């Protein structure tokens, strides 16, 4: 899904400049401001730059962690990270493939959810697609500080039981902190720092859901940093 106004000629120039500077070890935040101001990028365009482009070394290291879950796997799900990506797609926000091969979005929910019905649909879609993977166990982590997290915890717990998924939905202060303590299973997240810190292989669950459920055709940002 590609809302109009994001992939412009100026944005494509910005992608190449941003990548060029990252390759030379300039700091990401400083480069984002420099390039974003130079090309007068919108907030969404800057978000796509920041979430979509990393240096070739960091991208390749994360890409090598990517796997598809095998039948009977123990799946660890970074709950809001996965659900917000699916939700942002449903809301019409841009989703894209980053230079590390992960699907990410240009949304900015930051835990502010206004459409309970749509969120509930995303939960159902997530669990039904996970069921297709036939995991032995599913542990899903939610961040307690997110708005309505206790209600989401009850909803997901009941939905997991209803569809016959074995495992637990955990409500914790920090999903990242809890997940970093784990060392077995397959982790579903697109969180860059979490991917780089975890000892577990990583799977791109939102990409599986959007391609399998919706047949989504997603823009590959790595194509925009290629030089002729």
Q: What are 65-108's pLDDT values in tens digits?
A: 999 988 999 999 999 999 999 999 999 899 999 999 999 999 87
Q: What are 23-58's pLDDT values in tens digits?
A: 999 999 999 999 999 999 999 999 999 999 999 999
Q: Which residues make beta-bridge pairs with 168?
A: 139
Q: Is the pLDDT of residue 115 over 80?
A: no
Q: Is the pLDDT of residue 110 over 60?
A: no
Please give the average per-residue pLDDT across 1-9, as a whole number.
72
Find out whether 123 and 79 touch, Cβ atoms under 8 Å: no
81: left (phi over 0), alpha (psi -120 to 50) or beta: alpha
Percent of the chain at pLDDT above 70? Answer: 94
User: Phi, psi (5° rounding) for residue 170?
Assistant: -100, 135
For CA atoms 128, 133, 136, 142, the dihedral sign is negative
**The pair of three-digit structure tokens given for residue 135, joined into one six-digit string:** 């995991």
Determine the pLDDT at residue 5. Answer: 77
Please give the average per-residue pLDDT across 130-145, as a whole number.
97
Q: Which residues make beta-bridge pairs with 140?
A: 77, 169
Determine the pLDDT at residue 65. Answer: 94
Please give the span between the terminal C-alpha atoms of the chain, in angstroms, as a whole number: 26
Arithmetic mean of pLDDT over the chain = 93
Write the CB contacts of 76 (distance below 8 Å, at least 6 apart in sequence): 139, 141, 179, 182, 185, 186, 187, 188, 200
Q: Which residues make beta-bridge pairs with 202?
A: 66, 187
State pTM to two decimals. 0.93
Q: What are 201-228's pLDDT values in tens digits?
A: 999 999 999 999 999 889 999 999 986 5
If DSSP codes are grouped into helix, strand and coil, which group holds residue 157?
helix
Determine the pLDDT at residue 226. Answer: 80
Write the CB contacts of 70 (distance below 8 Å, at least 6 apart in sequence): none
Neighbours of 184 (CB within 10 A): 8
Determine the pLDDT at residue 1. Answer: 44
Q: What are 152-187's pLDDT values in tens digits?
A: 999 999 999 999 999 999 999 999 999 999 999 999
For CA atoms 145, 107, 33, 55, the dihedral sign is positive
């Amino acid at each position: 899904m590609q809302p109009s106004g994001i992939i412009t000629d100026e944005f494509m120039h910005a992608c190449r400049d941003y990548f060029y500077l990252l390759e030379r070890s300039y700091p990401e935040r400083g480069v984002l401001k420099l390039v974003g101001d130079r090309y007068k990028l919108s907030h969404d365009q800057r978000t796509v730059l920041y979430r979509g482009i990393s240096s070739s070394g960091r991208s390749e290291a994360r890409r090598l962690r990517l796997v598809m879950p095998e039948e009977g796997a123990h799946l660890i799900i970074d709950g809001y990270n996965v659900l917000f990506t699916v939700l942002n797609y449903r809301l019409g926000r841009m989703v894209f493939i980053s230079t590390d091969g992960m699907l990410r979005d240009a949304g900015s929910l930051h835990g502010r959810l206004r459409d309970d019905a749509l969120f509930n649909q995303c939960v159902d879609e997530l669990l039904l697609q996970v069921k297709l993977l036939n995991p032995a166990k599913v542990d899903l982590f939610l961040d307690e500080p997110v708005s309505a997290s206790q209600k989401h915890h009850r909803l997901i717990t009941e939905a997991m039981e209803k569809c016959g998924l074995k495992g637990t939905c955990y409500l914790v202060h920090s999903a990242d902190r809890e997940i970093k303590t784990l060392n077995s299973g397959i982790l579903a997240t697109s969180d860059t720092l979490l991917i780089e810190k975890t000892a577990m292989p990583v799977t791109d669950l939102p990409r599986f859901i959007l391609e399998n459920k919706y047949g989504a055709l997603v823009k590959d940002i790595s194509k925009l940093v290629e030089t002729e």
